[in-house]
Structure 1
Amino acid sequence: MKEIQLCLTEMRTFFQQGTTRDISWRKKQLKVLRSSIAEHEKAILKALYDDLGKSEFEGYATEIGVVYSEIDQHLKHLESWSRPKRVRSTILSFPSRSYTVTQPLGVVLIMSPWNYPFQLAIAPLVAAIAAGNCAVVKPSRYSSNTSHIIVELLAKAFPSEYVATFEGGSEMNTALLNYRFDHIFFTGSPTVGKVVMQKASQFLTPVTLELGGKSPTIIDEGSNLKLAAKRVAWGKFLNAGQTCIAPDYILVKRDLHDRFIEELKVAIQAMYGTDPLNNGEYPTIINQKHFSRLIELLQQGTLSYGGQIDPKLLRIAPTILTNPLLDKPLMTDEIFGPLLPIIAFNSFEEAFSFIEEREHPLALYYFGNNKEHEKRVVQNLLYGGGCINDTVLHLSNPHLPFGGIGNSGMGSYHAQNGFKTFSHTKSILKKYNFLDIPLRYAPFKGKFSLLKRFMK
Structure 2
Amino acid sequence: MYETLLAVQKEHVFTGATKAVAYRKQQLQKLKTMLQTYEKELLSALRADLNKQEPEARMVEMAFLHQEIDLALESIDEWVKPMKVKTPTSHAGSKSWVATEPYGSVLIISPWNYPIQLTFAPLIGALAAGNAAVLKPSELTPRTSSIMAAAVRATFPKELVTVVEGDAKTAETLLNLPFDSIFFTGSAAVGKIVLEKAAKHMTPCTLELGGKSPVIVDGEAKLKLAAKRIAWGKFLNAGQTCIAPDYALVDEDVYEPFLEQLKTQTYTLFSDKTKEGTYTQIVNDKHFERLRRYLDNGHIALGGQISPQARLMSPTILTNVPWDAPIMQEEIFGPILPVFRYKTPAEAIQKVRSLPNPLALYVFSENERVQRLFTEQLSFGGGCINDTLMHAANPYLPFGGKGASGIGAYHGYESFRTFSHQKSLLKQSTTFDVPFRYKQGKIANTFIRNICK
Q: Same fold per TM (> 0.5)?
A: yes
Aligned partner of 1:5 among 3, 6, 11: 3
Unaligned runs of 5+ in 2: none
The aligned counterpart of 1:52 is 50
2:130 to 129, 132, 138: 132
Once the two structures are TM-superposed, the CA of residue 223 in structure 1 deviates from its matched residue by 0.7
2:332 aligned with 1:349: no
| Counterpart mapping for 1:20-419 below 5 A | 20-273=18-271, 276-419=273-416
The amino acid that maps onto 2:280 is P
Q: What SS class does the counterpart of residue 304 from structure 2 fall into?
A: coil
1:443 alignment partner in structure 2: 440
User: What is the SS of the residue equivalent to 2:396?
Assistant: coil
Per-residue CA deviations over 1:179-199 (Å, capped at 9, x if unaligned) read 011100000000000000000
Give me the identity figure in percent.
Answer: 45
Specify the SS of the correspondent of 2:397.
coil
Distance in 2 (CA, whole Å) between partners of 1:217 and 1:272 is: 20
1:9-34 CA deviation, whole Å, 9 max, x = no partner? 21122111111111100100100111
Letter in 2 for 1:416: Y
Amino acid at match of 2:230: V
SS of the residue aligned with 2:399? coil
- TM-aligned CA deviation for residue 280 of structure 1: 4.6
Q: Distance in 2 between matches of 1:263 and 1:279?
A: 23
The amino acid that maps onto 1:60 is R
Aligned to 1:429: 426
Partner letter of residue 418 of structure 1? S
Write out per-residue CA displacement over residues 242-278 of structure 1, whole angstroms, 9 at most, x where no aligned residue. Answer: 00000000000112111111101111121122x6433
Structure 2: how far apart are the matches of 1:133 and 1:172? 22
1:336-373: per-residue Cα shift (whole Å, max 9, x none)? 00000001111111101111222100000000122222
- Using the alignment, how far apart are the partners of 2:205 and 2:123 within structure 1? 15
State the one-letter code of the partner of 1:43.
E
Instruction: Quote the Cα distance in structure 2 between the aligned partners of 1:402 and 1:12.
Output: 28
Distance in structure 2 (CA, Å) of the matches to 1:331 and 1:118? 29
Alpha-carbon displacement from aligned partner over 1:43-84 (angstroms, at most 9, x marks no partner): 111111111111111101111111111111110100100011
Q: Is this contact kept in 2: 1:214–1:333, CA < 8 A?
A: yes
Q: Distance in 2 between matches of 1:250 and 1:173?
A: 35
1:275-333 deviation per Cα after TM superposition (whole angstroms, max 9, x unaligned): 64333542111111111110011111111111000112211000000121322330110
Q: SS at 1:181's partner residue?
A: coil
Answer yes or no: is the 8 Å Cα contact 1:107–1:181 preserved in 2.
yes
Query: Which letter does structure 1 place at the counterpart of 2:94?
Result: S
- Letter of the 2:289 counterpart: S
Length-normalised TM-score, structure 1:
0.97
Alpha-carbon spacing, 1:142–1:441, altered in 2? closer, same or farther (3 Å): same
What secondary structure sits across from 2:13 in the alignment? helix
Query: How many pairs were matched up?
Result: 453
CA distance in 2, matches of 1:72, 1:455: 48
- SS of the equivalent of 2:424 reads strand
**CA separation of 1:313 and 1:278: change in aligned 2, threshold 3 A:** farther
CA contact (8 A) 1:55 1:280 kept: no
Conserved 8 A contact 1:7-1:161? yes
Q: Is the 8 A contact 1:285 1:314 kept in 2?
A: yes
Q: State the superposition RMSD in angstroms.
A: 1.1
Q: Distance in 2 between matches of 1:385 and 1:281?
A: 31
The letter of the residue matching 1:299 is: D
